Amino acid sequence: MNETDPREIVTIAHEMDNWYASLGRQFGPLSRPQRRMLRLLSPEQGRRVGDLGEELGLTTAGTTRMLDKLEALGYAERARDQSSDQRQVYVTLTPAGKRALSEADAIFFARVRSTLEGLDEGERAMLARLLCLMNRHAPAQDLPSKH
């Protein structure tokens, strides 16, 4: 790998951060973190609370707080699987959650689309390839302590 100029890394990091911030923190009925959580859920198959928090890089307390809010809004449901370990709690997406996620995704995609309007088709394709490459090569990040 070539040695990358530290100024280039700083510029890339700042520009990525600025672009992400320009998309906003609220997408219709969902905040950015709520949208991320609901994207991981499905109405058909529950996800274990612990696995959900781990994948999102949240502490147990942070996961619980977010799920409390999503459940109060009617977007997610928690249940224990009667056929397995009763200590395990599973979360599923409700029909209202599916609608909220669909609305939030539409807003998010529209914002992304509007920021890409200044790029031509080739530049958008190159950006898509580069982002996929970056994600494929991204090292696993340390997650916060679960306590």
Domains, the chain, with CATH or none: 22-137 (1.10.10.10)
Residue 147 has pLDDT above 50, yes or no: no
Average pLDDT over the chain reads 88
Residue 41, pLDDT above cutoff 70: yes
Q: Is the pLDDT of residue 89 over 50?
A: yes
pLDDT at position 8 over 50? yes
**Total residues found in the chain within this entry:** 147
**Alpha carbon distance 51, 143 (integer Å):** 12
At residue 120, does pLDDT exceed 80?
A: yes
Among candidates 28, 4, 6, which has minimal Cα distance to 111? 28
Using CA atoms, how far apart are residues 134 and 126, in angstroms rounded to an integer?
A: 12
Find the mean pLDDT for residues 108-135. 95
The pTM is what?
Answer: 0.81
Q: How many CA atoms lie within 13 Å of 90's alpha carbon, on the beta-carbon side?
A: 17
CA nearest to 128, candidates 21, 145, 119? 119
Is residue 133 helix, strand or coil?
helix
What's residue 138's pLDDT? 81
**Which pLDDT belongs to residue 77?**
95
Mean pLDDT of 123-144: 83
